[in-house]
Amino acid sequence: MGLLLLIPILLPIIAGIHILKKNYEDRADRERFVSRAVILNAVIVIVMALFLRGQEGVLLPIIPGNPIAFKLDNLGALFAGMVSLLWILCIYYAFEYMKHEGDENRFFGFYVMTFGVMMGISFAANLVTLYLFYEFLTLANIPLVMHGDSIQAKTATRIYIIFSIFGAALALCGIAMIAFTGGGSTAFVPGGALKGVVAGATVIQIAFLFTFFGFGVKSAIMPFHAWLPCASVAPTPVSALLHAVAVVKAGVFAIARVTYFTIGPDLLRGTIAQNVALAACIVTIVYGSAMALMSQHLKRRLAYSTVSQLSYILFGIVLMSTDGYLGGMVHLFGHAIVKITLFLCAGAIIYKTGREYVWELKGIGKAMPVTMIVFTIASFALVGIPPLPGFFSKWFLTAATISSQGSMLAYIGLVALGVSALLTAVYLFSICANAFMPGEGFDYEAANKDVSDPNRYMTVPLITLAVAIILFGLLISPMINILSL
Amino acid sequence: MGIAIILLLLIGAVVAWNCKNDQTARKIGLVVTAINAVLAVVMTVSVMNSGPQVLALGSGIGQQIINIGYIECFMACLFGIVGFLIVWASMSMISHDVEEKLIPMFYGLVLALLGTLNAVVFFESLLGVFISIELSSFAAAGIVIVKNQTENVHAGLKYLSLSILGSSLVLMGMVLLYVATGSLQIGGIAKVLQGSGFMAEKSAYVLWAYGLITGGVAFKAALFPCHIWLPDAHGTAPSPSSAILSSLVLKAYIVFYMKMVFGGVGFDLIANSPMRILLNVVMVVGVIAMIAGSVLAIMQTDIKRMIAYSSVAQMGYIFMGIGIGTEAGLFAALFHILSHAVTKSGLFLVAGSIIEQTHNRDLNKMGGLGKLMPVTMALFTIGGLSMIGIPLFVGFNSKWNFASAIVGSSNYWLLIPLSISALLNALYYLPVVIRAFFGQEAKECTEPLGSKERPIKDILPIILLACLVILFGVAAGPVSDFITKGIQALAAIGG
């Protein structure tokens, strides 16, 4: 039964290859195929997430003790379910958006393929399988990052390759250490497979740091964050779905797997390794927000914001307590829907007006009301106004810090969260304020002539996401129940 | 059976060389390598069933012992199967590089080379090994020179002279060992060296002897900085020759070195004697080679020179594994011999196909090639991904083995160069793939899809090599077990 999990992994990959081979001439044909494939796959994933939890299956014994194996546990099911729903919204958005980018067959081919790879990451039953899909994620993303073929796109691709491959190699070294000290296996066990197998050894700390910074490359931890702002040259559906949700959260997801399912927080609590990781998170939280404030390019600003927000999640994870883990995971899901919304709004603006800089958005709220209202809701959510998602994350993270009674660093982390929230408010609300209140005597007609909201392909996903953001609070307690280790 | 393989290949060589007709020579080459592959597999099965086969010829100091154990079978299969696939691929490619009248000579040299390589691995007697090494050097230089262009002759002579320098260093080391131990058989040497107190007393002798052998093997197997002949020789040779030279020839000398070090000195003494210093040097130089080879490869614009420098880097991996000096390190090195052989031979043959079809060697002009030669470039992609170490390809298992060996021996600092090296590999293989399939040129490419592709029957052997890359990537278990048995046998030589 466990090998049924291969279906949602392989189906999008085959569909993607089909799109690349078939090279659709007609846009409607391709859209029909893409939407059917993605919706079918999402339905399969959700059905499996509901009914097949706990199933596992072994596919290939590539390495002794570490076969390619799949398992559907609660964290994986939740992650896969969220990714699937967001994928559906994003393809409809992309149908409209990609009209002005061109070369859509290649784009949708790899966009759909990435869906399957993400399912592989969610369903992996051990670190080697996770690593396999992690590498494939890097590769499947290369054509998407360099889609525009501009000089910036080529530079961004180069930087992306350098960071991702080096990070994966570091992570692999860490995995090899974990496998060696843990007696060969790296299978996921809630609470840590190594718990009780090894006493707190230096090797484990080194292994944790290797995997933390190795997988951390994808989630843009300092000093490996530089690729993410560069990669914002990619088409908006890529920035939104992959560089705010799927790819970057794959990094976070992998770190959560290492910390809470392989090594186990007990072996790491209070060690130097934990402090190093905490320090990296704190620096990244503040640095990302500060850089976001200084960036005038809208997508770059959002990308730096992602850099900062991802470290909120990592901060929760490396608190090495169940509360910290839950706080991190709540933020993982909350940030996913909020940041994808912000990016899609930014994309709608770029699509309709071609404007990419913050100062060009004066008074745009009147011309594109739906887009900007959704943007404002998402901004409130990210800053953390109750009862929107950001509030819950911050609540849980604060509670976890205090209850974990960790080192000084954890409290410094709280200060960093506060500073970052302030910066977030400034860099997001300044956009909203400018858009709706450009000042006395602003000439709306001249500034935003012929600008209007995009068509329903874009607005329906935006409104859906806004509703999801508002209702997110209702999901918190079931989510916590499911995720508890 | 070992002697049968050697004789078959050598007789085949003489017959092929003396053919008047190039078509006949090709057929002889193909048939003889096919029989060789079958014999190697049969021999492996019989060794698995009934243990090592030992054949002793003569007696006294000149006694020649041919000892076929697990490692010998592993190498014989590698030489047999990969050699056969390369010779098969050469059927359609060789006339692009070699004049018709020289083709019989080419196949004669290839068969002679395979025969002598097998002999290097099979002989346990240092004298026999040395003679085989010398003969193989000439045959190896021959398959470079056979292209008969000025640059080939230069490259071949450079290769030959440095190769002979290498073998003379090896010879000096062997003589020193003989003086110290009074034996010319690896088994005999092992018994003396691993005897109680010998190493403590005569460590300087042994260290000098092994130092000279290491230096010699470094030249023969292109360990940086003794690699200077390799890019010229592998870069200019006919592509099937490059494939044989990089995937098989380099490896024979390395296996000889492994037998000398791990069979002769043994794992225990390596850990607790001055030999550790020598192996540390080998390890560090291997790491430098790993990085330097890749950096040099990134700087190349010629596809074959890039692949050749990549071999320099891969030899660095193997020497690093040897230098770690544990069973896991040796295992990683031996597995990498297999991994590199199947991957690199495929890459060279792909490069040959590209050059043959487009008359272009410049990497910067290969944009859009994925549209013109989709199958060929897909094969290149498989090879490149394996070299980077993506799972499902054999290169990943190699990388994993090295990482495990490093962790097991507590040399954690080696993990950093290992990671950097993976990145560097990506930096020269991925751009080629990306330019071929995705770049601006690929979009502007107007020629019909697949218009420059070679017929499938001609690239079938390359496809089979790519299948091996994937097969060993997903199911390395049996071959890993086999190598492990070989290492146990090696460790037991000294008794």
Query: CA triplet B219, B220, B225: central angle to 5 degrees?
Result: 30
Report which residue type is found at B129: V
Q: Which spans in A188-235 are helix H? A: 202-216, 227-230
CB-nearest to A62 from B397, B420, B430 is B397
Residue B397 distance to chain A (closest CA, Å): 7
Compute CA distances B103 → B18, B22, B146, B147, whole Å.
11, 6, 8, 10
Structural domain ending residue among the three candidates A207, A236, A262: A262
Q: What is the mean pLDDT of residues A229-249?
A: 83
Query: CA triplet B232, B238, B244: central angle to 5 degrees?
Result: 85
Band of residue A405 on the pLDDT scale cut at 50, 70, 90: low
CB-nearest to A169 from B397, B412, B419 is B419
Q: Which pLDDT value is given to residue A406?
A: 64
Query: CA triplet A147, A149, A153: central angle to 5 degrees?
Result: 80
Residue B80 distance to chain A (closest CA, Å): 25
Rounded to 5 degrees, φ, ψ at A58 are -110, 130
Q: Does one domain contain both A427 and A401?
A: yes
Tell me the C-alpha distance between A372 and A298, whole Å: 13
CB contacts, 8 Å: A109 with chain B: none
CB-nearest to B397 from A63, A166, A179 is A63
pLDDT for A205 beyond 80: yes
Q: Which pLDDT value is given to residue B34?
A: 93
pLDDT for A284 beyond 90: yes
CB-nearest to A166 from B385, B407, B419 is B419
pLDDT, tens digit, 9 for 90 and up, residues A100-159? 777 788 888 898 999 999 999 999 988 999 999 999 999 988 888 888 778 888 888 888
CB-nearest to A146 from B422, B427, B438 is B438
- Segment holding B55, helix H or strand E: strand B53-57
Instruction: Identify whether the C-beta of residue B353 lies closer than 8 Å to the C-beta of residue B459.
Output: yes
CB contacts, 8 Å: A179 with chain B: 404
CB count, 10 Å around CB of A466? 21
Tell me the C-alpha distance between A288 and A463, whole Å: 28
CB-nearest to B419 from A139, A161, A173 is A173
Does any CB of chain A come closer than 8 Å to the CB of residue B412? Answer: yes
Q: Which of A32, A8, A17, A237 is nearest to A110 (CA)?
A: A17
The verdict on a CB contact (< 8 Å) between A176 and B400 is yes
pLDDT for A439 beyond 80: no
Q: What is the mean pLDDT of residues A361-377?
A: 83
First vs last C-alpha separation in chain B: 25
Tell me the C-alpha distance between B51 and B43, whole Å: 11
Residue A249 distance to chain B (closest CA, Å): 21
CB contacts, 8 Å: A148 with chain B: none
Compute CA distances B77 → A18, A248, A422, B248, whole Å.
38, 45, 67, 11
Q: Which pLDDT value is given to residue B101?
A: 84
CB contacts, 8 Å: B385 with chain A: 139
Q: Does one domain contain both A249 and A348?
A: no
Cis peptide before B461 (omega within 30 of 0): no
pLDDT for A413 beyond 90: no
Q: Which of A97, A137, A95, A101 is nearest to A116 (CA)?
A: A137
CB-nearest to A135 from B390, B412, B476 is B390
Q: Does one domain contain both A316 and A181?
A: no
Q: Does one domain contain both A77 and A220?
A: yes
Compute CA distances A276 → A198, A273, A320, B77, B165, whole Å.
22, 5, 13, 49, 51
Tell me the C-alpha distance between A59 and A78, whole Å: 23
Residue B222 distance to chain A (closest CA, Å): 26
Signed CA dihedral, B304, B170, B405, A124: sign only: positive
The verdict on a CB contact (< 8 Å) between B477 and A206 is no
- Segment holding B234, helix H or strand E: helix B229-236
Tell me the C-alpha distance between A373 and A432, whole Å: 8
Does any CB of chain B come closer than 8 Å to the CB of residue A60? Answer: yes
The verdict on a CB contact (< 8 Å) between B423 and A142 is no
Tell me the C-alpha distance between B434 and B424, whole Å: 16
Does any CB of chain A come closer than 8 Å to the CB of residue B377? Answer: no
Does any CB of chain A come closer than 8 Å to the CB of residue B390? Answer: yes
pLDDT, tens digit, 9 for 90 and up, residues B209-262? 999 999 999 999 988 888 888 998 888 888 999 999 999 999 999 999 999 999
Tell me the C-alpha distance between B69 and B486, whole Å: 7
Rounded to 5 degrees, φ, ψ at A235 are -55, 150
Does any CB of chain B come closer than 8 Å to the CB of residue A132? Answer: yes
| Residue in B closest to A60 by C-alpha | B474
CB contacts, 8 Å: B397 with chain A: 62-63
Q: Which of B356, B325, B307 is nearest to B95 (CA)?
A: B356
pLDDT for A6 beyond 70: yes
Q: Which pLDDT value is given to residue A60?
A: 83
The verdict on a CB contact (< 8 Å) between B473 and A103 is no
Q: Which residues are within 8 A (CB) of A102 and not within 5 positions of it... i.e. 6 or more apart? A: none
Q: Which residue stretches of chain B have pLDDT < 50?
A: none
pLDDT for A355 beyond 90: no
CB contacts, 8 Å: A177 with chain B: 403, 407
Does any CB of chain B come closer than 8 Å to the CB of residue A131? Answer: yes
Structure tokens at B282: 């080998």
CB-nearest to A62 from B419, B427, B473 is B473
Structural domain ending residue among the three candidates A246, A262, A278: A262
Q: Which pLDDT value is given to residue A399?
A: 86
Band of residue A347 on the pLDDT scale cut at 50, 70, 90: confident
CB contacts, 8 Å: A169 with chain B: 389, 399, 418-420, 422-423
- Segment holding B193, helix H or strand E: helix B186-193
pLDDT, tens digit, 9 for 90 and up, residues A169-178? 999 999 988 8
- Total beta-carbon pairs less than 8 A apart between chain A and chain B: 93
Residues pairing with B125 in the sheet: B185
CB-nearest to A132 from B391, B420, B437 is B391
Helix, strand, or coil (residue B56): strand
CB contacts, 8 Å: A106 with chain B: 438
Residues pairing with A126 in the sheet: A187
| Residue in B closest to A61 by C-alpha | B475
Radius of gyration for chain B, computed over Cα atoms and rounded to the nearest angstrom: 22
Tell me the C-alpha distance between B224 and B230, whole Å: 10
| Residue in B closest to A138 by C-alpha | B390
CB count, 10 Å around CB of B470? 15
Number of structural domains (chain A) is 2
pLDDT for A404 beyond 80: no
| DSSP of B294-321 | HHHHHT--BHHHHHHHHHHHHHHHHHHH
Query: Greatest CA separation found in chain B?
Result: 75
CB contacts, 8 Å: B438 with chain A: 106, 142-143, 146
Helix, strand, or coil (residue B362): strand
Compute CA distances B385 → A130, A188, B343, B347, B381, whole Å.
17, 27, 10, 11, 6
Tell me the C-alpha distance between B495 and B493, whole Å: 5
Tell me the C-alpha distance between B261 and A270, whole Å: 45
Tell me the C-alpha distance between A390 and A469, whole Å: 10
Signed CA dihedral, B151, B379, B483, B114: sign only: negative
Rounded to 5 degrees, φ, ψ at B185 are -105, 140
Q: Count Cβ neighbours within 10 Å for each residue of B327-365 and write b for 16 or more, e otherwise.
A: bbbbbbbbbbbbbbbbbbbbbbbbbbbbbbbeeebebee
Helix, strand, or coil (residue A442): coil
Tokens 């037991």: give the residue.
Answer: B492
| DSSP of A304-368 | HHHHHHHHHHHHHHHT-SHHHHHHHHHHHHHHHHHHHHHHHHHHHHHHHH---BGGGGTTHHHHS
Tell me the C-alpha distance between B305 and B296, whole Å: 10
Tell me the C-alpha distance between B330 and B328, whole Å: 5
Q: Which pLDDT value is given to residue A200?
A: 64
Domain carrying residue A246: 1-262
Tell me the C-alpha distance between A46 and B392, whole Å: 28
CB contacts, 8 Å: B443 with chain A: 103, 149
Q: Does one domain contain both A394 and A479?
A: yes
Does any CB of chain A come closer than 8 Å to the CB of residue B473? Answer: yes
Does any CB of chain A come closer than 8 Å to the CB of residue B407? Answer: yes
Question: Do the interacting molecules here have an ipTM over 0.95?
Answer: no
pLDDT for A272 beyond 90: no
Does any CB of chain B come closer than 8 Å to the CB of residue A203? Answer: yes
The verdict on a CB contact (< 8 Å) between A157 and B434 is yes
The verdict on a CB contact (< 8 Å) between A203 and B480 is no
Residue A241 distance to chain B (closest CA, Å): 21
Tokens 């040395």: give the residue.
Answer: B130
Tell me the C-alpha distance between B179 and B185, whole Å: 13
Q: Does one domain contain both A182 and A131?
A: yes
Q: Which pLDDT value is given to residue A114?
A: 92
Tell me the C-alpha distance between B321 and B312, whole Å: 15
CB contacts, 8 Å: B427 with chain A: 161-162
CB-nearest to B404 from A139, A165, A180 is A180
| Residue in A closest to B416 by C-alpha | A170
pLDDT, tens digit, 9 for 90 and up, residues A39-96? 999 999 989 888 888 888 888 888 878 888 888 888 888 899 888 988 888 888 888 8
Tell me the C-alpha distance between B72 and B486, whole Å: 8
Residues pairing with B54 in the sheet: B67
Instruction: Identify whether the C-beta of residue B373 lies closer than 8 Å to the C-beta of residue B354.
Output: yes
Q: Which pLDDT value is given to residue A268?
A: 82
The verdict on a CB contact (< 8 Å) between B427 and A64 is no
Q: Which pLDDT value is given to residue B454?
A: 81
Q: Does one domain contain both A177 and A288?
A: no
| Residue in A closest to B328 by C-alpha | A180
Q: Does one domain contain both A203 and A283?
A: no
Tokens 């020289």: give the residue.
Answer: B102
Q: How high does pLDDT run on average in chain A? A: 85
Which of B400, B445, B481 is the best residue to mutate to test the A interface, defined by the most A CB atoms within 10 Å of its own CB? B400
Q: Does one domain contain both A163 and A290?
A: no
The verdict on a CB contact (< 8 Å) between A166 and B407 is no
Report which residue type is found at B132: S
Q: Does one domain contain both A210 and A331?
A: no
Structural domain ending residue among the three candidates A231, A262, A293: A262
Helix, strand, or coil (residue A69): strand
Q: Which pLDDT value is given to residue B367?
A: 78
Residue B353 distance to chain A (closest CA, Å): 23
